[in-house]
Amino acid sequence: LCPREMMFWFYCPIKLPGMLGFAYPPNLHQFYPLMRLAEADLHEEQWRSSYVYITAKTLYTTPENPGNRPGWHSAGFLTDDINYIWCDANPTIFWEGGPVRFSTDHNVALAEMDDVAESDPAGHRVYPVKHLLRLDQSVLHKVATDVRPGIRTFVKISVSTERYALTGNSINHGLAADWKSEARQAERNCPRGAL
């Protein structure tokens, strides 16, 4: 994949439960190979019964603006959602320490994640760019801190049994998803709303 267009698609729905194929805006077609890999990784029934969303960002990134959420966190915190991520520069940093139980309070959990991951630099790992990685809520990660300024593409494919229906999420007009949006929370960036 060699994206060339600056873009910012955020949790755009590309599949609804029961759909066999995808419905996505034409300029997201370039990410079809990643969508197929995610589909092949999951059990057929899990895929068929889920919503699938794509986040695709091609942005100019700098150390001050790395393009993704800073700090240690987990994708799909307190959910069973599966997320697949791919980037072509400034790879994500992962913490591969042992299993840890975190508070169910989002703000407390973020501080706990920061403490545990920062206290164990030997557990930090970076995978090569242009590889699709599977994450669940147990995978702690953060955006690279030694960002080289330049264009970076980041793609996330999110698979969930829940609708991501927050104001600000991208709308797929070809899919005609007609759900009502909820207000985005100031304290938690959960794409599906309050948990």
Residue 188 has pLDDT above 80, yes or no: no
C-beta of residue 192 within 8 angstroms of C-beta of residue 162: yes
Of 192, 169, 173, 162, the closest CA to residue 16 belongs to 162
Over residues 124-147, the mean pLDDT reads 93
- Regarding pTM above 0.85, the answer is yes
Say which residue, 159 or 191, is predicted with more confidence: 159
> What confidence tens digit (pLDDT) does each residue in 72-117 have?
999 988 899 999 999 999 999 999 987 888 998 888 999 999 999 9
Q: What is the pLDDT of residue 3?
A: 81
Residue 190 has pLDDT above 80, yes or no: no
DSSP code at position 182: B
> What confidence tens digit (pLDDT) does each residue in 148-180 have?
899 999 999 999 999 998 888 998 988 866 677
CA angle 37, 14, 5 (to 5 degrees): 80
C-beta of residue 123 within 8 angstroms of C-beta of residue 157: no
Q: What is the pLDDT of residue 195?
A: 43
Residue 138 has pLDDT above 80, yes or no: yes
Q: Helix (H, G, I), strand (E, B), or coil: what is residue 74? A: strand
Q: What is the pLDDT of residue 160?
A: 96
Distance separating alpha carbons of residues 63 and 90, to the nearest angstrom? 10
